Amino acid sequence: MTALLELRQLSGGYSPIQIFQNVDLVVQPGETVGFFGPNGHGKTTLMKTISGVLEPWSGDVIFEGRRINREAPRGSRRFRNFNYDAVTRRRMDPKAVARAGLIHVAQGNLLFPEMTVDEVLSIAPMAAAGREKGNRFGLTSIHSLFPRLAERRGHKIRFLSGGERQMVSIAAGLLAVPRLLILDEPTLGLSPKLRLELCQSIRAIKDMGVPLIVIDQDVAFLSALIDRLHLFDHGRIARVLGKAEIPDHDTLMSMLFGAAIT
């Protein structure tokens, strides 16, 4: 069986600083995978690299058996003045990644401030064009998943709260009929009430059979949701825990930092 997503020795970062090194990861179809780790250790950078917003420095991203990054053309000597200090990178195309069905709901996405909720949701299925016939996720199912969005349909994004904006982001991701959905810190900075609401919606999404990669700081939420938890530390996957092995938040933190200190 082909893995849904496979990373082989993936490295990347913001030039000239490398953020993560040689990450290997396999996500099988139907799996829900979690990422947990301290802020600033490269989780978001890794996800941005998978979705093609950033260029990988080395290694491969393989989605459904197809490598979606390609070798960047080596700058010829003539053009070297451009990229004198650049490492030879691999190129990716975020549009192609999204159209292949790998949908990344970015952390703290500000979306399009001057567009209304309905307008944003109307362009979201563009990523599914040509790939999916008969969209499984219509506006009705979105509105039953996120009832708030039905109330807010005519409002501009910049007048929405952070949680509502997050809901629009996720809803837009679903409308693209994801074959794999990456949620980067969906509950970041939300009020407890909204957070609860969103967690329920994400569970509902999982129950619909959408494979997920979820990054979050809430271990209780993650452990109820996912099959495997990857502990991310200093730009690498430090440990992989099965569903049964996931301890509480404090133990997890001491696992991460304890391991780092000794």
Partner 1 sequence: MRYDPPFHKSSGFVPALVVLAMLLVLPLMIEASYLRHLMILAFVFGIVAASWDLSLGYGGLFNFAHVALFAVGIYTYAILTKTFGLNPWIAVLIAGPVTMALAALVALPVLRLDGIYVILVTIAFSQLVYQVIISQSSVTGGTSGIVTLPPLAIGDYKLTSDGRIGYYYVALGLTVAACAFLHGVIRSRLGRAIMALRDAKYAAIARGVPEGRTRVLTLAASGLFTGLAGGFYASYVRVASPDIFGLGSLTLVLSILLVGGIGTIWGPVCAAFAIILLSEAMADLGPWRDILTALLIIAVMVLYPGGLWGVVQEAREAFATARAGIRAGWRRRQGRPAREALMGATEAMLPTRHGHVAVSDTGGAGPAILCIHGNSACKEAFARQFAAFRGSHRLIAFDLPGHGVSGNADPETAYNVPAYADVAEDVLAALGVDRPVILGWSLGGYVGLELTSRAPARFAGLCITGTSPLNIVPEDFARGYDASSHLVLAGKQYFTAAEERAYAGSATVPLSKDSAFLHANINRTDGRTRYYMITKLGVVDWPRQMRMIREGALPLAILNGADDPFLDHGYIAGLDYGRIWSGAPHDIPGGKHAPFFNAPEAFNRHFSAFMDWANRPASITGTG
Partner 2 sequence: MISFDTFLAVASGGLVLGALYALMAAGLAAVWTTLGIFNFAHGAFIALGAYIGWQLADAGGAGLGLTAGVVVATVALFGFGILFHLVLVRPFERRADIVTVSVITTLAGTAIIESAINLIWGPRSKQLARLGTGEIDLGLIRIPMGDLVLVAVVAATLAGLGWFLGRTRTGRAMRAVSQNREAAELMGIDVPRLYALAFGLSAAMAGLAGIFVGGLRFMTPTMGADPLMKALIVVILGGIARFTSPIYAALLVGLVESFSNYFVGLYWTPAVLFAIMIAVLYVKPSGLFGHHQRTL
Residues of this chain that bind partner 2 (CB under 8 A):
51-53, 82, 94-95, 98-99, 103-106, 109-115, 119-120, 122-124, 126-129, 172, 176
Interface characters, 74-113, with partner 1 (x: CB under 8 A): xx--xxxxx-xx-xx-------------------------
The one-letter amino acid code at 220 reads A
| Residue 249 burial (CB count, 10 A) | 14
Nearest to 3 by CA among 138, 96, 102: 102
Q: Is 9 in the site for partner 1 (CB under 8 A)?
A: no
Beta strands in 155-233 (DSSP E): 180-184, 212-215, 228-233
The one-letter amino acid code at 55 reads E
Residues counted in the chain:
262
Nearest distance in Å: CB 47, partner 1: 19
51 binds, among partner 1, partner 2, none (CB under 5 to 8 A by kind): partner 2
Angle at CA of residue 75, ends 73 and 78, nearest 5°? 140
Helices (H), 18-113: 43-50, 94-99
Q: Is 250 in the site for partner 1 (CB under 8 A)?
A: no
Q: Which is nearer to partner 2, 74 or 95 (CB)?
A: 95
Taking CB under 8 A as the criterion, which residues in 190-249 touch partner 1? 234-236
Point out which residues bind partner 1 (CB under 8 A).
Answer: 11, 13, 15-18, 21-22, 57-58, 74-75, 78-82, 84-85, 87-88, 234-236, 261-262
